Homo-oligomer: A and B are copies of this chain.
Amino acid sequence: MYKVNIGKKILSANEEYALKNSKLLAEQKKLCLNMISSPGSGKTTILTRTINDLKGKIKIGVIEGDIQTDIDAERIRATKAPAVQINTNGACHLSAAQVNNALESLPIRDLDLIFIENVGNLVCPSAFELGENGKIVVLSVAEGDDKPAKYPAIFAKSKAMLINKIDLLDTSGQVDFDLERVKADARKLNKKIAIFPISAKTGKGMSHWYDWLIESVEKLRCP
């Protein structure tokens, strides 16, 4: 009883900031996507390639969430895109208040799309709304094809799923991963989820993801 009440309080405080963020983004008609995955699924590599390939088409900024270090923000800044690093100092997810601070540091007016790269964690970040327009779950084929079944919450809540590192399926033959099983399991949890098998390393499949991003930015501008 004690624990349940507290859970509620923390979520409500977070939700207040999430609402603030959501209003700010809606007023300026900016798309904001909250990227969630296990550590090492390739979120930062997906972002750097996306930013570079969409130069001249969509202006992207990034809020980087990490427990420690600014390794990821540095990788983003190398693309010349604006990036703000949040260090959670041990916490397992980003909070809406942290994102609110970060939004103030980004040149939002000049951007079309803001990515939030959450702390690498397939569980906790799915429970904390940040005021984003949608969540993107990333799964690498090296993690195995049982993940939607075992970690359903984030797959149920995401607008899109990126299945990354498909280059490992093509050539090594050493990764057992049933792409159709993953797609079917994800769609059982979430009929509307958009699914993009990609390799952020080789570029394979990325064009479909880019089309979806461009369409999503345009829809927000002219609904």
Contact = CB atoms under 8 A, between A and B. Distances in A.
A: interface residue count bin: 35 or more
A58 interface: no
Contacts of A3: 10
B144 A40 contact: yes
Interface string A156-191: 000000000101100110110000000000000000
A92 B10 contact: no
A68 B165 contact: no
A123 interface: yes
A61 interface: no
A146 interface: yes
A143 to B, nearest CB: 3
Contacts of A149: 68-69, 71
A221 interface: no
Contacts of A168: 142, 168, 172, 174-175
A205 to B, nearest CB: 16
Contacts of A92: 92, 121, 123-124
A219 interface: no
Contacts of A146: 69, 71
Nearest to A40: B143
5 contacts: A40-B143, A40-B147, A41-B143, A92-B123, A123-B124
A134 interface: no
A67 interface: yes
A121 to B, nearest CB: 5
A153 interface: yes
A132 interface: no
A99 to B, nearest CB: 18
